[in-house]
Amino acid sequence: MLGPGTRVTHQAMATIADSGMSVVWVGEEGVRYYAHGRPIGRNTRLLEAQAKIVSNTRLRLATARKMYEMRFDGEDTSGLSMQQLRGREGARVRRLYSEMAKQHDVEWRRREYDSNNFMSSDPINIALSAAHTSLYGVVHGSIVALGCSPGLGIIHTGHDRSFVYDIADLYKAEVTIPIAFEAVVAMRDLDFQLDELPSFTRRSCRNAFKQSRIVERIVTDIKNLLLPEEANKAEEDDWFEASIIQLWDNSNKRVSGGLNYEVDP
C-alpha cells in the first residue's frame, strides 16, 4: 500500500508487476483508497458477459467457434467440436509456418522454446517468442482497460492470462508470425548478433502495432465477442463513463442505487 508522499520509478513498478505483487494507492495509514490500477471502463457489462460465457458450456462453445472462425477467415465452424477446431487450427498454423519459412528462406523445424532459457532456441523461435510476448503485452493492457478479466479464458483456461492468450491468438498469423520471420531475415541481411534479435523484434512489433492501430481492433473484437448486440453502440452507451450505481434484483432487472427502499409498515 503506497501512501502520501510515495515516489515510485517506472522500473520499480515493472519489477513489482513481474513479481506478482499488488499495489494499492491509499491515504495516510490506509484510511482512504484511491486506486489499484483500475480500468478506464467503469461499466461492468463486458465483465459480466465474459463471466456468463465462461460459466455456460453452450455459450462458451459458441464463442470459441466464433473465435476460431475469425482465425479461419470466415470458414463455417458451427458444427465443429472443440477437438475438431483444435485439429484445424493445428493444421493451419503448421501450414503457415511452412509457408513463411519457404517464403523467407528460413530453416524451420518446429515451435519450441524454454521459458527458463529464452536464448537457448534457434533464431526463428527466439523471434517468435519475442513477438508473441509483445502482442501479449498490448492485448493484456487492452483487456484490463476495458474492465475484463485476463484470467477468464474461453479457449484457454487455468492461467491468470488465459483470456490474453485467447485474444492474442486472433492476430498471431497476421501480425507477429510474419514479423518474426522478417526479423530473422533482417538479422541475416544486416549481420547483427543473435542477442540483438529479441530487441529488434520487439521494436518491429511496436512499430507495426502503432501503424496498424491494433489496440482499436482488439477493443472492437472483444466487444463483438462478448456483447455483439452492443458492440456498435459504444458512443451511445458512454462505455467508459462512470454510471449511476445500480442494484441487482432477483426479477432479472436492475434498480437504481442511492435510494432508500424501506417499506412503510
Q: pLDDT by residue (tens digit) across 69-93?
A: 999 887 889 989 999 999 999 999 9
Length of the chain: 265
- Whether 96 and 180 share a structural domain: yes
Percent of the chain whose predicted confidence (pLDDT) is above 70: 88
Residue 238 has pLDDT above 70, yes or no: no
111 and 218 both lie in a single domain: yes
Half-sphere exposure of 236 (CA within 13 A, CB side): 4
The percentage of residues in the chain with a pLDDT greater than 90, rounded to a whole number, is 62
**Are both 53 and 181 inside the same structural domain?**
yes
pLDDT band of residue 246 (cuts 50, 70, 90) is: confident
Q: Is the model more confident about 176 or about 242?
A: 176
Considering the domain architecture, whether residues 58 and 185 belong to the same structural domain is answered as yes
How much is the pTM? 0.82
Residue 251 domain-assigned?
no
Q: Calculate the average pLDDT of the chain.
A: 87
Residues 228 and 174 in one domain: yes
Q: What angle do CA 208, 210, 211 make, to 5 degrees?
A: 65
75 and 140 inside one domain: yes
Residue 84 lies in a domain: yes
| C-alpha–C-alpha distance, residues 60 and 119, integer Å | 37
Cα 29 to its chain centre, rounded Å, is: 35
The answer as to whether 170 is a domain residue is yes
Q: Are residues 25 and 109 in the same domain?
A: no
Whole-number pLDDT of residue 103? 96
Answer yes or no: do 95 and 167 share one domain. yes
The verdict on 19 and 98 lying in the same domain is no
Say if residue 252's pLDDT is above 80: no
Calculate mean pLDDT across residues 109-136. 90
What's the mean pLDDT in 157-172?
95
Q: What are phi and psi of 9, to 5 degrees?
A: -80, 160
Amino acid 70: pLDDT: 93
Residue 53 predicted with pLDDT over 90: yes
**Residue 31 sits in the same domain as residue 100:** no
Is residue 180 assigned to a domain? yes
Please choose, from the candidates 212, 188, 187, the residue with its C-alpha nearest in 3D space to the C-alpha of residue 198. 187
Q: Are residues 54 and 184 in the same domain?
A: yes
pLDDT at 230 (0 to 100): 75
Residue 137: all three cell numbers together: 503485452
Range of the domain at 197: 45-235
217 and 152 housed in the same domain = yes
Question: Count of domains in the chain?
Answer: 2
- Is 159 within a domain? yes
